[in-house]
A and B are shown apart, each in its own frame.
Chain A
Amino acid sequence: MNNSGFEFKDFTISHAKGAELLSITAQVAPGEILSVMGPSGSGKSTLLSAIIGNLPKAFTHTGQILLDGLQLDKRAPQHRKTGILFQDHLLFPHMSVGQNIGFGLPKMAVGKADLIAEALKDIDLEGYEDRDPETLSGGQRARVALMRTLLAEPKALLLDEPFSRLDTDLREKIRDFVFTRARAAGLPVILVTHDVEDVQAAGGQVLDLGEREL
């Protein structure tokens, strides 16, 4: 175990029938953002599902993914420590805001209530513990979703077009917020997007899966 971030070694995803979908060799250091671009069907989401450990049966992979020097593709999904954010923020609708935040905390965490209160204060939502997530604004939801993910103490962050449903001005704010937090936490980030502005803001390596037919 070290602090080397993501390392893809000849990592290749193929259709079970044989055709290669994508192949990457890359390194993503802590605090760095790798942007993955490409039209739908190019394998962006499939790459994320391979990292998370949810690769559909229609695909196979070869090569290795290392996270902090540990081989990721050998581990069960719940032991990979790769937090993910989706474009809909997917707050659990049956839980309060506080319960949503608390869901991310490790089981053994002590003083959960204080940790939750502190986390909410940290994202300018002090005293929002009992609120219904449905009553939050889009920006507030995005912040809660990120905080929920970060409290689970991930070793990396995956972003599946998390800004594409937001209005333009809000979009910039939330993007800055997420990137800043991820860098502060020293997480290697993989950002899947089809928005050039996202890529520019990320300012890191770009993997373009380009036009290809399935």
Chain B
Amino acid sequence: MQELKPIGQSALALPSKTHKNQSWGFFPVLTILVLIGPIVSGLVGTILPAFGGSFQSGLSALSFEYWGHLIETPGLARSAWLSLKTGLISTFVSLLVCLLLVASWQGTKIFLFFERLLSPLLSVPHAAAALGLTFLIAPSGWVFRLISPWATGLQRPADLLILGDPDGWALSAGLIIKEMPFLLLMSLAALSQVDTASRMRIALSLGYGQVRGWMLCVLPALYRQIRLPVYAVIVYSMSNVDVSMILGPTAPPTLSIYILNWMTDHDLALRNVAAAGAILQLALVLIGLLIWRLGEKLCALWTQRAISSGKRGAGQSDVIFRLLALIFAAASLLAIFGGLLSQVIWSFAGRWRFPEALPSSFTTRIWERHGASALEMSMTTLALALLAALIALILTIGCLEAEFRRGRVMQRAGLILIYLPLLVPQIAFLPGLQILLLQIGAGLGFWPVLMSHVVFVLPYVFLALSGPYRAWDHRFHTLATAMGKSAFVVLWRLRLPMLLAPILTAMAVGMAVSVGQFLPTLLASGGRLATLTTEAIALSSGGDRRVIGAWVLILSVAAWLPFSIALFVPRFIYRKRLGMLHE
């Protein structure tokens, strides 16, 4: 995992314990409470009702009644298998494509092109990407329209079960196109700490092929650093609700969908069954992670043998790998951006018959009908996102500043705590949190939603900001302190303004995460707070492509808007400060 170097570039830059710095310890403690509090109480709130208990009565009447209900659910085993299978397959494929892309294309213009598109790609919420995919691959979607009738002979949409296929291939595809860019970003961040160039120079000079050399010399160092993000992808892929609702099968659905249905059922007794299901989900994710670890061990073994075999793997295999990586990466890219484009067109489409590639008439009817309410909901969504990201930002800066002032470096345990919200399935603890909030009479609504968003936004804000924050030249601090300036003045007048661009980027990342949240919004508000994401997913079952297109478009714009602001504002403010621009 990430081996954190001591703070600062030279001994002189190292801060040491000084007066009043201990009070900053408040921030890490608060941050841990904000992160862990909801998770732990949510897990407790899940375990108790699963065994017939509650917060008031504890576990006095221990009962396995609800487990009986759970086990009798039709297709439960198949549902659990589906969750496990789609989760592991989609993680494996996204990681493989990501690694092949880095191995065979890094340093080329094509790779730079992908790199530039990463931020907008990542800002697209899962639900928007999944809905975009349905617009493309459905029997009446764009792909079939483009190849019909000349290639398929189809005059009407074929009767094919592509979306929601019982084996979950569409679901896996939807997960891959979103997780691949995420893993790519994490790999790029980690690669800056692995001296790829010199490792590769040695491998190539020994006659190794590009890909094989990379896999043997760079990957082991890289993988150690991206292990936590990979686990986060496994957990999300195995337990997500939003993508599964849109692209996953229905009879049976994935386990997470069962749990959600029980949670939102009118029959309150089903909440206990949901709690039992959530524990099953947790166990399932643990099994998934164990299987993955086993795979890791096998790969390590293979690497050892491959190294001692001395095979160079130069020549044709490189070409094949390059092509494969490019095809998959380009397909993911096309799926997301093509989906968005298709949504733009649908939202303005008048008459659009199959198999025409474009509508025969255009209209603004949908926008006239939905525009005002979509705009209003955008305001709610963005306000929520702004608040959540701001809270996360303050906590993050507080933690990083505490680390700096106390001269302590965050240990691996700290990093795992930060990652925890991404490593515990949402569906395993959010139901418990909702049950808890109801039982203690706290009620559901905006504030619980905000609190739950902060839990998921914080890890991303921290991961986005910690690198640049720690890399800031500490000699500025030394210099200003020697001029008699307090640590607060240094922070406020030097460090934060100099880090404006990364701070705004971290805010934008956090806001995009908040905008895309579905389950926390739904459960912590009791379904009473509508955001663009919950609305888009609610509309998706209706199947009116024009309406879905309009809402998803607004959703994607809302998620992308903070990124464009983060890009523009520092360039404008520092337009006359060259030293701030070429960083």
> Pick the contact of A93 from B16, B19, B498 — CB < 8 Å?
B498
Pair A106/B484 contact, Cβ less than 8 Å: yes
Smallest CB–CB gap between B481 and chain A, Å? 4
Pair A80/B482 contact, Cβ less than 8 Å: yes
Pair B497/A94 contact, Cβ less than 8 Å: yes
A148 to B485, CA, bound (A): 13
Report the tally of A-B residue pairs with Cβ distances under 8 A.
102
Residue A168 at the chain B interface, CB threshold 8 Å: no
With a cutoff of 8 Å between Cβ atoms, the chain A residues found around residue B494 in the complex are 92
With a cutoff of 8 Å between Cβ atoms, the chain A residues found around residue B12 in the complex are 45-46, 48-49, 52, 54, 160
Pair B498/A54 contact, Cβ less than 8 Å: no
B-facing residues in A89-118 (Cβ within 8 Å): 90-95, 103-104, 106
Residue of A nearest to B14 (CB): A56
Mask, B111-149, CB within 8 Å of A = 1, is 000000000000000000000000000000000000000
Pair A45/B11 contact, Cβ less than 8 Å: yes
Interface size class of A (residues with CB under 8 A): 35 or more
Pair B483/A90 contact, Cβ less than 8 Å: no
With a cutoff of 8 Å between Cβ atoms, the chain B residues found around residue A191 in the complex are none
Smallest CB–CB gap between A80 and chain B, Å? 7
Residue B300 at the chain A interface, CB threshold 8 Å: no
Smallest CB–CB gap between B104 and chain A, Å? 37
Residue A149 at the chain B interface, CB threshold 8 Å: yes
Mask, B553-580, CB within 8 Å of A = 1, is 0000000000000000000001011111
Pair B479/A57 contact, Cβ less than 8 Å: no
Smallest CB–CB gap between B18 and chain A, Å? 6
A88 to B474, CA, bound (A): 13
B-facing residues in A4-37 (Cβ within 8 Å): none
Given contacts A54-B12, A54-B14, A90-B475, contact A152 B483 (CB under 8 A): yes
Residue B25 at the chain A interface, CB threshold 8 Å: no
Residue A139 at the chain B interface, CB threshold 8 Å: no
Residue A68 at the chain B interface, CB threshold 8 Å: no
Mask, B476-520, CB within 8 Å of A = 1, is 101111111111000001100110100000000000000000000
Residue B371 at the chain A interface, CB threshold 8 Å: no
Residue A53 at the chain B interface, CB threshold 8 Å: yes
Pair B493/A103 contact, Cβ less than 8 Å: yes
Pair A78/B484 contact, Cβ less than 8 Å: yes
Residue A135 at the chain B interface, CB threshold 8 Å: yes
Residue of A nearest to B480 (CB): A103
Pair A134/B577 contact, Cβ less than 8 Å: yes
With a cutoff of 8 Å between Cβ atoms, the chain A residues found around residue B16 in the complex are 53-57
Pair A84/B482 contact, Cβ less than 8 Å: yes
Given contacts A93-B577, A94-B577, contact A49 B483 (CB under 8 A): no
Mask, B15-27, CB within 8 Å of A = 1, is 1111100000000
B-facing residues in A145-193 (Cβ within 8 Å): 148-149, 152, 154, 158, 160
A214 to B479, CA, bound (A): 27
Residue A132 at the chain B interface, CB threshold 8 Å: yes
Residue B350 at the chain A interface, CB threshold 8 Å: no
With a cutoff of 8 Å between Cβ atoms, the chain B residues found around residue A77 in the complex are 18, 481-482
> Pick the contact of B482 from A56, A83, A95 — CB < 8 Å?
A83
Residue of B nearest to A82 (CB): B482
Interface centre among B10, B12, B19, B574 (most CB of A within 10 A): B12
Pair B580/A78 contact, Cβ less than 8 Å: no
With a cutoff of 8 Å between Cβ atoms, the chain A residues found around residue B498 in the complex are 92-94
A-facing residues in B438-486 (Cβ within 8 Å): 473, 475-476, 478-486
A154 to B484, CA, bound (A): 9
Residue A128 at the chain B interface, CB threshold 8 Å: no
B residues with a Cβ closer than 8 A to A are: 10-19, 407, 473, 475-476, 478-487, 493-494, 497-498, 500, 574, 576-580
Ranked nearest first, the 5 interchain pairs of A and B with the lowest CB-CB distance are A93-B579, A134-B578, A152-B483, A56-B14, A134-B579
Chain A to chain B contacts (Cβ below 8 Å), 5 pairs: A78-B486, A80-B482, A92-B498, A103-B485, A132-B579
